[in-house]
Amino acid sequence: MSSPDLDVAYVARLARLDLSAEETALFQKQLAQVLEHAVRLREVNLEGIEAAAHAWPIFDVLREDEIRPGLTQEEALRNAPRTAQDLFIVPKVVE
């Protein structure tokens, strides 16, 4: 759990963030401090303790499987940066 393990440049690639060299160096330093502060979590005795994924243990909330109104095609496309012929336009992904 030692902070030098954090390689900001590598994690930024995983997170699809094209960071500049300056940002990479700055975040490396700042996040190392945050992780060093978090080292104290190692002191906590967690033996036999279950993980809490939520504030409340709520399970299996189901609803009727029925048709409900949703966004129209025009609404779904309204905020898109590029559209044509009622479609989202994206960069070419196959050669």
Distance CA 75, CA 49 (A): 46
In angstroms, give the least distance from the CB of 86 to another protein: 13
Least spacing, CB of residue 50 vs another protein, in Å: 6
Find tokens 């196959």 and name the residue: 94
Question: Furthest-apart CA pair in the chain: how many Å?
Answer: 59
Under 8 Å between Cβ of 27 and 19: yes
Binding site for another protein (CB under 8 A): 1, 5-6, 8, 11-19, 23, 27, 30-31, 33-35, 37-38, 40-42, 44, 46, 49-56, 58, 61, 63, 71, 75-76, 78-82, 88, 90-91, 93
